[in-house]
Amino acid sequence: VNKLWIVGIGPGHEDYMLPIAKEKIKAAQVLVGGKRHLAAFSDQKEKWPLKMPLEAMMTDLKKIYKEKQVAVLVSGDTGFYSMLKMVKRHFEDEDIITYPGLSSLSYMFSKLNLSYEEALMTSCHGRDITPQVFDQYPILGLLTDREHSPRWIQDQCKNRRGKIHIGLNLSYEDEVIMTYALDQEIPEIHESLCVVVVEYE
């Protein structure tokens, strides 16, 4: 009997995908994931693009996953703001196998030649981000969204000195990494594939 595979596919480019993730994706009969992620894999497979409400998709997956091998593709690492938590509300632990991936933030820190032991790594989306967070750590690694843009992050770091690094489309051909002083004017960016690292002096 099959188990549901949750596969971390890394920041995007296949060079940064673990061999085991590639192997599992190849072996799966059904791929579930964002349109962008699905497009990168063989068209011979049944593909289920994510659609809202995800709960309804989970109910549909439950009906088929034992007969057909399903791989749910998630960006970056499975253990960091991925669909894993939501999947676990619908499936028993013993029915899931998780394969990790490289997080977009760990990729970004490596590009900056920085280590992240002292950093707070979190998402700006949701309740994990409070104004205090911006003062409590020497380094922040942040997932952004349309509302919580690099500019918004810069605003939260008012009166602090240091650098803000912005990573767009990481690992893809059009990857851009920019660094500004915290008091410098930074461009308005509302890309969906964007992470920010703040490094205080």
Ligand X SMILES: C[S@@+](CC[C@H](N)C(=O)[O-])C[C@H]1O[C@@H](n2cnc3c(N)ncnc32)[C@H](O)[C@@H]1O
Contact pattern from residue 76 through residue 115 relative to ligand X, giving x for each residue in contact according to CB under 6 A and a dash for the rest: xx--xxx--------------------xxx----------
170 binds ligand X (CB under 6 A): yes
- Phi-psi region at 98: left, alpha or beta (left = phi > 0; alpha = psi -120 to 50): beta
Q: Which of 5, 15, 181, 201 is nearest to 107 (CA)?
A: 15
Residue closest to ligand X (Cβ): 76
CA 145 from centroid of its chain's CA atoms:
11
Return the residue of 5, 12, 41, 109 that touches ligand X, per CB under 6 A. Answer: 12
Return the residue of 90, 145, 157, 163 that touches ligand X, per CB under 6 A. Answer: 145
CB of 174 to ligand X, least distance (A): 10
Tell me whether residue 64 or residue 125 sits nearer to ligand X (CB atom).
125
**Residue for token pair 């673990």:** 18
Q: Which stretch binds ligand X (CB under 6 A): 48-56, 62-70, 166-174, 177-185?
A: 166-174
Q: Which of 16, 18, 67, 21 is nearest to 46 (CA)?
A: 67
32 binds ligand X (CB under 6 A): no
Tell me whether residue 64 or residue 191 sits nearer to ligand X (CB atom).
191
129 binds ligand X (CB under 6 A): no
Return the residue of 7, 41, 75, 154 that touches ligand X, per CB under 6 A. Answer: 75
CB of 79 to ligand X, least distance (A): 8
DSSP labels for 91-135? Answer: S-GGGEEEE----HHHHHHHHTT---TTEEEEESSSTT--TTHHH
CB of 66 to ligand X, least distance (A): 26
Identity of the residue numbered 117: E
Burial of 137 (0-12, 13-18, 19+ CB in 10 A): middle
CB of 93 to ligand X, least distance (A): 20
Distances, alpha carbon 145 to alpha carbons 42, 95, 149, 190, in Å: 29, 31, 6, 7
Altogether, the residues listed in the chain come to a count of: 201
Tell me whether residue 77 or residue 198 sits nearer to ligand X (CB atom).
77
Q: What is the contact surface with ligand X in residues (CB under 6 A)?
A: 11-12, 74-77, 80-82, 103-105, 143-145, 167, 169-171, 192-195
